[in-house]
A and B are shown apart, each in its own frame.
Chain A
Amino acid sequence: MKLRAPQTNASCEESVQGGALILKLSGRLDARSVPELWPSINHAFKKKQIESVTIHGAGISYCDGTGAALLVHVRKSARLLGIDAVFQDLNSDVADLMALFPVKTIARVPEEKGHQWGDLVERIGEAFYVGLVGLGEHVSFLGELVSGLFKTLIQPGRLRVRDLMVIIEAAGPRALPIVGMLGFLIGLIIAFQGAILMKQFGAEIYVADSAGLLMARELGPLITAIIVAGRTGSAFAAEIGTMKVNEEIDAFSTMGLDPVRFLVIPRVLAASVMTPLLSVFAILFGLAGGAVVMLSMGYPLVTYVNRVIEALSPADYLGGLFKALVFGFLVAASGCLCGLRTGDGASAVGTSATRAVVSSIMLIVLADGIFAVLFFYLGI
């Protein structure tokens, strides 16, 4: 037996005798040849006053599913003209194949429902409803989380320390290189840009003030939180989402164990502790970046350091770290919530991870704005 039938090109000869359309099909009807034949068959059926359709199939050497689709198409086109197509000399293989597709069962490809105005209203309503439900879920999740955190504070024994340590390691020390590098580069860049500006006034020394303040109050916590959102928040969402898909979350609840306590609390604690620590590094490396710029402009290191110490109050520094703590909490909480709300299937896990990062970054920026106003009125 040959593995492949020889490559004979299929052809379709059409002839019209009186009102009779005769199609002679021959060769190999498969996915390669059918696309060429299809238009010519459509063309043949456009002729006027067709009264009968006959297909001579003696020359068909091979016919697969695509070929069968072509033959069914011929039959359907004839049917549209109110004629039953007659197949002649089909070899037994092709006839058997055609017998699988009786006229009645091959109706047409089911049409997709079009969108209508009523649908639009319904969809807006549904989206709004889903949004409300989502908001409700957020609020109840936050409540569960806070009560869980309180219970953990009262009874630290409830915390699974080993889980916590594993998460802390992944969320903290392993993020050091990227946090350090980004902190350094951003410190360098803002110091450099500041220096160009300040040089016009001969006030380059104040670059130390601006770099120090910016890094400690704003950029240190902010870039750290964004890195944590991208690295850790998405990982939380994906981990918990995968557990959801694997029914592990269901297993927790039918064992009477609270998934928030086992999965969310350790992650939120780890991120809330590690984000301020990481942002300490971001600030330090950022200041080092500033130092490089100052040194290159000929200022001695001691001048820069003294200037930074003078410019930065402990409140600036601690305020920044407090912000980082809140950012870490928000990132972990939204990562875990997105994970717990994962739907079915592998793509749902990806969606959750994406949603976790997007909502984390939005929350970070929003919280940062609130802090800016708050710190202004508090005079910090």
Chain B
Amino acid sequence: MSERESIITVNNMTARYGERLVLDSISFGVNRGEIFAILGGSGCGKSTLLKHMIGLYKPAGGDIRIGDASIVNAEGTDRDELIRTFGVMYQSGALFGSMTLLENICLPLEEFTDLGKEARELAACMKLSLVGLAEFAHHMPSEISGGMKKRAAIARAMALDPEILFLDEPSAGLDPVTADELDDLIIQLSRSLGITFVIVTHELPSIYKVADRVIMLDAQTKKIIAEGNPEELKKTSDNEWVRDFFNRKGSAGAKGVEDG
């Protein structure tokens, strides 16, 4: 794969919860248009890293840039502009429970565009049909299944046509078939719309299927212990635990405690 333009740059970032060090001065870049996965055992700080990248937490040190702008110190309208370049799918979907799916997706359109009601609803319906949920437009989030919620959350994250989509454990809690469908959807969206994906996961089949490049975090050293294409890492990594993870020999989940 040729050298491509980097869309997200994480530079010497350190993350802490109070006294506890979670990530120790890590650096990596995400290229435009790729599907990038953040891996690691439970408790190694994957979700923490994601929350730093989307600006929910401030790092204890270092910088995170999306495009040319730093998200760490962005304030006011700069931050609003920056936030609109990406969408986030949270682990539980985090759809707003008091609104229908359609209203959930219309909300960002209503707030940030001057589209009329009809145009908004059409645009929202198109996003829903992209994830195969057009007929559930008027359902409430509580009336659909877990897999549907995640797909609806992807549709909502795409409402403003962002360049980057962050997905927090898309296949967690889904049956293998539904998880597989979700992976297909990610690949399809990446190919047809050129969206850059940053996915936090520890589902091996899904990693092999979708990820162009991965980084793997380590709970003990708090650093990145592997970076590259998953197929290549499986064969060539010099770290035994990394090879074990990709070959699924060791118990990947037993390396640390679950983080909050």
Contact = CB atoms under 8 A, between A and B. Distances in A.
Real binding pair: yes
Interface of A: 163, 166, 243, 246-248, 250-251, 253-257, 344
Nearest to A166: B98
B98 A246 contact: no
Nearest to B103: A162
29 contacts: A163-B98, A243-B97, A246-B94, A247-B90, A247-B91, A247-B92, A248-B94, A250-B56, A250-B90, A251-B88, A251-B94, A253-B56, A254-B54, A254-B55, A254-B56, A254-B83, A254-B86, A254-B88, A255-B83, A255-B88, A256-B79, A256-B83, A256-B84, A256-B108, A256-B111, A256-B112, A257-B107, A257-B108, A344-B260
A255 B108 contact: yes
Contacts of B112: 256
A234 B158 CA distance: 34
Interface residues of B, number: 24
A372 B95 CA distance: 46
A246 B97 CA distance: 10
B80 interface: yes
A83 B235 CA distance: 49
Contacts of B79: 256
The 8 A-B residue pairs with the shortest CB-CB distance, nearest first, are: A247-B90, A251-B94, A247-B94, A256-B83, A248-B94, A256-B80, A254-B88, A254-B54
A243 B88 CA distance: 16
Contacts of A243: 96-97
A251 B97 CA distance: 12
Contacts of A248: 94-97
A378 to B, nearest CB: 41
A175 B207 CA distance: 53
A304 to B, nearest CB: 46
Contacts of A253: 56
Nearest to B91: A247
A237 to B, nearest CB: 16
B104 to A, nearest CB: 9
A255 B79 CA distance: 11
A248 B99 CA distance: 12
**Consensus secondary structure, chain B interface:** loop
A13 B43 CA distance: 48
Interface in B46-85: 51, 54-56, 79-80, 83-84
Which of B86, B95, B111 lies at the interface centre, i.e. has the most chain A CB atoms within 10 A of its CB?
B111
A255 B260 CA distance: 22
B88 A257 contact: no
Contacts of A251: 88, 90, 94, 96
B38 to A, nearest CB: 17
Interface of B: 51, 54-56, 79-80, 83-84, 86-88, 90-92, 94-98, 107-108, 111-112, 260
A257 B84 CA distance: 11
Nearest to A261: B111
Nearest to B96: A248
Contacts of B88: 250-251, 254-255
A254 B160 CA distance: 12
Contacts of A250: 51, 56, 88, 90, 94
Contacts of B87: 255
A351 to B, nearest CB: 16
A166 B56 CA distance: 30
Contacts of B90: 247, 250-251
A248 B55 CA distance: 15
A343 to B, nearest CB: 9
A32 B90 CA distance: 47
A252 to B, nearest CB: 8
A253 B88 CA distance: 11
A5 to B, nearest CB: 32
Contacts of A247: 90-92, 94
Which of A248, A250, A251, A344 lies at the interface centre, i.e. has the most chain B CB atoms within 10 A of its CB?
A251
A166 B108 CA distance: 21
A166 B95 CA distance: 19
B100 to A, nearest CB: 12
Nearest to A163: B98
Nearest to A257: B111
Contacts of A255: 83, 87-88, 107-108, 111
Given A247-B90, A248-B95, A256-B108, 11 more contacts: A246-B94, A247-B94, A250-B56, A250-B94, A254-B54, A254-B55, A254-B56, A254-B88, A255-B87, A255-B111, A257-B111
Contacts of B83: 254-256
A254 B83 CA distance: 6
A256 B111 CA distance: 9
Contacts of B84: 256
A170 B98 CA distance: 14
Nearest to B110: A160
Nearest to A251: B94
Nearest to A250: B56
B20 to A, nearest CB: 15
Contacts of B56: 250, 253-254
A247 to B, nearest CB: 4
A314 B212 CA distance: 74
